[in-house]
Amino acid sequence: MTQKVAVLGTGKIGEALLSGMIRGGWSPSDLLVTARRTERAEELRARYGVEAVPNPEAAKIADTLILTVKPQDMGALLDELAPHVPSDRLVISGAAGIPTAYFEQRLAAGTPVVRVMTNTPALVDEAMSVISAGSHATAEHLAHTEEIFGGVGKTLRVPEAQQDAATALSGSGPAYFYFLVEAMTDAGILLGLPRDKAHDLIVQAAIGAAVMLRDSGEHPVKLREAVTSPAGTTINAIRELERHGVRAALLAALEAARDRSRELATGKG
């Protein structure tokens, strides 16, 4: 791997991506990082053996720029980078809600841009990274992006028009499961279990259910029905979930997340 890749604004996700690339065979000498704080840049340099440089220098040196700053900070970063980014650089954005056109309008004409929404399971190599091409990105650019993000999990290509929906389901998705586990743990305590035991029971149930969903090929309705005996405990619980509108609440929640992703594209903080 001879291309140089720079991760700009290297926070938790950026660091996870960096470490995944190194595990996947990238040489630290081919990787650059930038960070807002000098001590953070030094920490990354010491931990991974990569070079830490200012943003403009990364733009001049690297063949691929991965922008991992928060959406509200992206405008300032692009203002800093634009004079230094030639049109043959691949720019990969990991910012929620910001369309590729936003970057194309601020960078040199013809600059290839790829939009990626990954999620925090990148920290344990179980991310889902959703990839969309901008108007100048080629199949080669998409394959290169998949090579990078494949080091921290799975990748999926979608049209950019579906990115806000993917952000609602996948980008924010882990938080919904954590919220559910938190609520179920409280229920376990209400039912008389110690917190640690309730937690262990629920986490293993979640892992087992996820593996079955992934590996069985069965529709989730069939898997749920296999647990739901006539007049049993599960159907009583399902009845209460439906009575309290849990399904409708999830639909509304994901619509709200999608709408917020769209708002971010308009610059609303």
**What is the DSSP annotation of 203-217?**
HHHHHHHHHHHHHH-
What predicted TM-score, i.e. pTM, was given to this entire model?
0.91
CA-closest candidate to residue 120, choices 40, 177, 49, 51: 177
The answer to whether residue 83 scores a pLDDT higher than 50 is yes
What single string gives the DSSP state of each residue in 66-135?
Answer: EE-S-GGGHHHHHHHHGGG--TTSEEEE--TT--HHHHHHHS-TT--EEEEE--GGGGGT-EEEEEEE-T
Q: What is the pLDDT of residues 213-252, one digit of tens each?
A: 999 999 999 999 999 999 999 999 999 999 999 999 999 9
Secondary structure of residue 4 in the 3-state scheme: coil
Q: How far apart are alpha carbons 130 and 135 in whole angstroms?
A: 17
Side chain identity, residue 201: L
CA-closest candidate to residue 4, choices 30, 23, 26: 30
Instruction: Please tell me what DSSP assigns to residue 151.
Output: G
- The pLDDT, as a whole number, for residue 2 is 63
Average pLDDT, the chain: 95
The answer to whether residue 1 scores a pLDDT higher than 50 is no
**Which tokens in the block code for residue 122?**
């990148």
Band of the pLDDT at 264, cuts 50, 70, 90? confident
Q: What percent of the chain has pLDDT over 90?
A: 92
Mean pLDDT for 49-64 is 95
**Which tokens in the block code for residue 62?**
């690297």
* Radius of gyration in angstroms for the set of CA atoms belonging to the chain, rounded to a whole number: 21
- What does the angle CA 148 – CA 123 – CA 149 come to, to the nearest 5 degrees? 15
Q: Which of 2-6, 103-107, 132-136 has the lowest mean pLDDT?
A: 2-6
Q: What percent of the chain has pLDDT over 70?
A: 98
Q: How far apart are alpha carbons 203 and 185 in whole angstroms?
A: 9
Q: What is the pLDDT of residues 187-215, one digit of tens each?
A: 999 999 999 999 999 999 999 999 999 99
The answer to whether residue 269 scores a pLDDT higher than 90 is no
30, 23 contact by CB (below 8 A): no
